[in-house]
Amino acid sequence: MIYYQTIKDLSNALQSGSLMPSGLMAAFIKRTKETEPALHSFICYDEADAMKQAEAADLRWKSGKNLSPYDGIPIGIKDIISVRNQPMTCGSRMLENYISPYDATVITKLRAAGMVIWGRLNMDEFAMGSSTETSAFGTTQNPWNLEYVPGGSSGGSAAAVAAGQACVALGTDTGGSIRQPAAFCGIVGLKPTYGRVSRYGVTAFASSLDQVGPIGRSVEDVAAVLSIIGGRDSHDSTSVDVPVEDYVHASTREKPWRVGILSEFMEGDGLDGDVSAAIQRVVQFYESQGCPIQPVSLPKVNAGLAAYYIIATAEAFSNLARFDGIRYGHRSKAATDVASVYAKSRAEGFGEEVKRRIILGAFVLSGGFHDAYYTRAQKVRSLIRSEYMRALDDVDIILSPATPTAAFHETEKCEDPLSMYLSDVYTVTVNMAGLPAISIPCGFDRNHMPIGAQLIGRPFGEGDLLAAAQFYEKYHDFHRQHPPL
């Protein structure tokens, strides 16, 4: 099936002339139309615009002026990333009628490589959630079993890639939103180092944690996209001027990776037995290949989730202040004066989870509580980072499960925010430390739902991280299995 081919296969076919971008785009549109009623991965898509981009790529290939080996390959975009003249809702009623006036830097870079910008993928409202159920525009189903959630907040991106509606997609990850849905949908998701990818044109959730990254069906595919989108951008002062490697090439490096097993995440109440067993098999694989394995203990990660929900809500409280019915967003028709424009517009525009975060953020920053919560959480954050950095002196890669369980049933955790938050317990500390991490498919649980392994690397060590992941992938075929859809 053409829609399940990797970027590399598609690129080879484009180069040989056996495939044209418009034919490829037509195949993805057809696949999307067939599967979208069951999945609802997209908030919307503009078929004509995608075909127009693909036809322009046809002409470039025909004249031998392709912009890159990936010219004409479609990439799905999470609905939090600005694409000029397209709607951007961030999964919220607040932005229901918003049209982006400019391209995010990542979009500019993808266009420069000729990639076709394809659709607006569903997500939890303002990226707050772990199941895509907080989207104001309906839930997305997991392609492996429609009764299960695809994860979140980049659930639409993960479901679309897993189901062959797009070759690759962009997501964002503040506490796990690329890795957790990739794990739940049986595909690969990479959260780059904080500062590796520009966030200009990406709606901010928690600015000290947010990062854009690729979701794909193979390690090589996410490597290819990272090479395109990475790099310093003068529009985003948090992006860092570290050279962007050719990550596709880097991912073929082989060496006896020293692998640390993150002890705190290999035990404990919440960890499902099938997930634990699958990760043990990943450990055995690296060991059997001659990789030195050692346990690493990072005791402070146990305080990570609590600290994350203080820092992330504090930053969200501040970032979301701009959605007030005046500067941005929905304006209430019932408002009668300035104060009621703010109050009513925000009451009507935001969903329940977003309101919960705003209230929590206001609380942890308020006079008298600031030191007790916010300042302490920042201290925990720097301890966590130090622990990771010390561990990464002795090992090249730290391994853990990506999530404590495989995908859960829809509505199962909707009434219980804490249990929803716990599904990111293994991913959030990586954002707090600013490190790169990848989730790769490594098995299935008793319900035949996919399981993900998380590999964590050194700052700007994406090359080694991808290589260690690709080394595993080369000897396994989980990434070649597709949902029965």
The nearer residue to ligand GLN, 5 or 180, going by C-beta atoms, is: 180
Phi then psi for 391, rounded to 5 degrees? -60, -35
Residue 396: CB atoms within 10 Å:
21
Give min distance, CB of 329 to ligand GLN, in A: 19
Tell me: does residue 128 bind ligand GLN (CB under 6 A). yes
Question: Of the two residues 130 and 251, which places its CB atom closer to ligand GLN in the complex?
Answer: 130
Nearest residue relative to ligand GLN (C-beta): 177
Minimum Å gap between C-beta 218 and ligand GLN is 23
Distance CA 138, CA 40 (A): 8
Pairing between β-strand 74-78 and β-strand 168-173 as defined by DSSP bridges: parallel
Among 368, 77, 385, residue whose Cα is nearest residue 225: 77
Question: How many CA atoms lie less than 13 Å away from 91 in the CB half-sphere?
Answer: 35
Among 155, 175, 186, 443, binds ligand GLN (CB under 6 A): 175
When asked if residue 91 is in the footprint of ligand GLN (CB under 6 A), the reply is no
Of 220 and 424, the one with the shorter C-beta distance to ligand GLN is 424
**CA 218/CA 158 separation, integer angstroms:** 13
Between residues 20 and 43, which has the closer beta carbon with respect to ligand GLN? 43
Stretch that binds ligand GLN, among 32-40, 127-135, 212-220, 399-407 (CB under 6 A): 127-135
Measured CA to CA, the distance from residue 433 to residue 210 in angstroms comes to 12
Positions marked catalytic: 78, 153, 177
- Using the structure block, give the residue that is written with the tokens 């990111």: 424
HSE of 236, CA atoms in CB hemisphere, 13 A:
27
> Does residue 50 belong to the site contacting ligand GLN (CB under 6 A)?
no
Are residues 361 and 317 in contact, defined by beta-carbon separation less than 8 angstroms? yes
d(CA 5, CA 216): 11
Asked whether 306 and 384 are in contact (CB, 8 A), the reply is no
Provide φ and ψ at 440, rounded to 5°: -125, 145
59, 34 in Cβ contact below 8 A? no
Verify binding: residue 105, ligand GLN, rule CB under 6 A. Answer: no
Q: Does 130 bind ligand GLN (CB under 6 A)?
A: yes
Q: 214 near 465, Cβ under 8 Å?
A: no
CA of residue 271 relative to chain centroid, distance: 22
Quote the least distance from Cβ 482 to ligand GLN, whole Å.
Answer: 26
Helical (H) or strand (E) element with 106: helix 105-112
Find the binder of ligand GLN among 90, 127, 204, 440 (CB under 6 A): 127
Choice from 73, 183, 226, 312 touching ligand GLN (CB under 6 A): 312
Choice between 166 and 312, CB closer to ligand GLN: 312
Nearest distance in Å: CB 366, ligand GLN: 20
Q: Residue from 74, 150, 155, 176 that binds ligand GLN (CB under 6 A)?
A: 176
As a whole number of angstroms, the distance between CA 14 and CA 332 comes to 50
| Residue 173 binds ligand GLN, judged by CB under 6 A | yes
The CA distances from residue 148 to 117, 145, 174, in Å, are 28, 6, 23
Q: Applying CB under 6 A, what is the total number of residues that bind ligand GLN?
A: 13
Q: Which of 74/175 has CB closer to ligand GLN?
A: 175
- Give the CA-trace dihedral at 219, 223, 224, 229, to 10 degrees: 140
In whole angstroms, how close is the CB of 94 to ligand GLN at the nearest point?
17
Segment near ligand GLN (CB under 6 A); pick from 26-34, 43-51, 174-182, 446-454: 174-182
Least separation in angstroms between CB 142 and ligand GLN: 16
Binding residue for ligand GLN, selected from 45, 205, 286, 472, defined by CB under 6 A: 205
Residues 407-446: x where in contact with ligand GLN by CB under 6 A, - otherwise, as a string:
-----------------x----------------------
Query: Site residues for ligand GLN, window 224-263 (CB under 6 A)?
Result: none
Alpha-carbon distance of 213 to 337, in angstroms, equals: 42
The stretch among 124-132, 237-245, 341-349, 396-404 that binds ligand GLN (CB under 6 A) is 124-132
Contacts of 33 (CB under 8 A, 6+ apart): none
Query: With binding defined as CB under 6 A, does residue 174 bind ligand GLN?
Result: yes
Q: Report CA-CA distances (Å) from 224 to 23, 108, 217, 437, 477.
A: 22, 16, 12, 16, 20
Beta pairing partners, 323? 328
Contact between 361 and ligand GLN per CB under 6 A? no
CB nearer ligand GLN, residue 29 or residue 94? 94
Site membership for ligand GLN, residue 125 (CB under 6 A): no
Catalog residues that contact ligand GLN under the rule CB under 6 A.
127-130, 153, 173-177, 205, 312, 424
